[in-house]
């Protein structure tokens, strides 16, 4: 834990987290992120006073935030030296971001080819609380469906095959926790939704993908398959097209198996790169 006093007292020079003296900080989350940003590979251990000098935060605020971050597992405290360093848990945040970027890079070309060949929309999504958020989308040039599928679009986790696919890929305990939270928010419509999503989860177990033709929207057909990544949260691939062009026979013979193959290829390639 050897660091020169000049280095310790130097302000954090990072474009995303510079705090000048006198600048009001209204968010505890922002303060916590600024505190975490004070550490670097060259400067790993800091006490409360040193962190206060580097961040511009009051020493009392630094002490409270550091204690909370220790409790949450993001900082480790040396009780003898009374100093802190980042814990390995912080790496998980970076790895998650890297995983998202890497998978999007791998998926984009495959999604575009699938959308063009099948004349459909293709999306890649991940969970954010009780929604799925679209990260990537591709549209076949000859697709006749006007669908507002776009990056950032949100879909309820229990209301479409996208959500059912993700739920099917989660550990049972996590899935039960999420469904309990959904139930608290929509008790009136819960029974039919729960029945339908359980059917979708069962379909994933049987075929590897699930479908809803004319259910999500009368004119739309939706197919979805989970992308399971080792050490990361699952993603979902979805294929959306006009319900008239997505007959049950075409879905079972062509679209569903093809989407499943793409999901499995992404899983295999990502997991190989990650090992």
Phi-psi region of 217 (alpha: psi -120 to 50; beta: other; left: phi over 0): beta
Closest CA to 153 of 227, 216, 97: 216
**Which residues on adjacent β-strands are paired with residue 133?**
126, 154
Token pair belonging to 192: 């039919």
Residue 68 neighbours by CB under 8 Å, 6+ apart: 32
Q: What is the pLDDT of residue 73?
A: 84
Let me know whether 45 and 164 are in one domain.
Answer: no
Tell me the C-alpha distance between 28 and 20, whole Å.
16
Let me know whether 149 and 51 are in one domain.
Answer: no
Tell me the C-alpha distance between 133 and 152, whole Å.
6
Written as one string, the DSSP assignment of 146-208 is -----TT-EEETTSSHHHHHHHHHS-HHHHHHHHHHHHHH-STTHHHHHHHHHHHHHHHHHHS
Q: What is the pLDDT of residue 180?
A: 92
Token pair belonging to 271: 């997991």
Let me know whether 122 and 242 are in one domain.
Answer: yes
Let me know whether 72 and 51 are in one domain.
Answer: yes
Q: Which of 70, 87, 104 is the last residue in one of the domains?
A: 87
Query: Which CA distances in Å does 111 have to 107, 114, 240?
Result: 6, 5, 12
Find the CATH number of the domain harbouring 155: 3.30.450.40
Instruction: Identify the residue whose tokens are 């993001």.
Output: 74
Taking the alpha carbons at both ends of the chain, their separation in whole angstroms is 32
Q: What is the pLDDT of residue 148?
A: 67
Q: What is the pLDDT of residue 67?
A: 92
Q: What is the pLDDT of residue 95?
A: 64
Q: Give per-residue pLDDT as tens, 3-62.
A: 343 444 444 444 333 444 444 444 788 889 889 988 877 778 999 999 999 888 999 999
Instruction: Please provide the average confidence, as pLDDT, over all residues in the chain.
Output: 85
Query: Which CA distances in Å does 262 have to 52, 63, 123?
Result: 50, 49, 12
Let me know whether 20 and 106 are in one domain.
Answer: no
Total number of domains in the chain? 2
pTM of the predicted protein model: 0.68
Let me know whether 43 and 25 are in one domain.
Answer: yes
User: What range does the domain containing 46 cover?
Assistant: 5-87
Q: List, for the chain, all residue ranges whose pLDDT scores fall below the cut of 50.
A: 1-26, 275
Helix (H) or strand (E) holding 156: strand 154-156
């Amino acid at each position: 834990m050897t660091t020169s006093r000049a280095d310790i007292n130097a302000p954090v020079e990072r474009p995303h987290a510079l705090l000048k003296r006198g600048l009001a900080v209204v968010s505890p989350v922002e303060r916590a992120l600024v505190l975490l940003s004070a550490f670097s590979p060259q400067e790993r251990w800091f006490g409360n006073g040193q962190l206060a000098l580097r961040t511009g935060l009051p020493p009392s605020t630094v002490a409270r935030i550091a204690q909370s971050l220790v409790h949450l597992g993001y900082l480790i405290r040396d009780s003898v030296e009374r100093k802190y360093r980042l814990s390995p848990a912080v790496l998980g945040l970076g790895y998650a971001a890297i995983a998202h970027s890497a998978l999007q890079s791998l998926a984009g070309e495959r999604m575009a080819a699938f959308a063009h060949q099948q004349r459909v929309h293709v999306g890649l999504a991940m969970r954010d609380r009780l929604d799925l958020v679209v990260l990537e989308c591709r549209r076949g040039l000859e697709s006749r469906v006007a669908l507002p599928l776009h990056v950032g679009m949100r879909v309820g986790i229990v209301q479409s095959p996208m959500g059912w696919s993700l739920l099917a890929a989660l550990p049972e305990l996590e899935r039960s926790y999420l469904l309990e939270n959904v139930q608290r928010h929509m008790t009136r419509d819960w029974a039919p939704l729960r029945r339908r999503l359980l059917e979708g989860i069962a379909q994933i177990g049987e075929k590897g993908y699930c479908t809803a033709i004319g259910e999500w929207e009368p004119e739309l057909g939706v197919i979805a398959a989970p992308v399971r990544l080792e050490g990361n949260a699952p993603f979902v691939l979805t294929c959306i097209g006009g319900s008239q062009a997505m007959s049950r026979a075409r879905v079972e013979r062509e679209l569903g198996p093809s989407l499943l193959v793409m999901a499995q290829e992404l899983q295999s390639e990502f997991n190989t790169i990650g090992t």
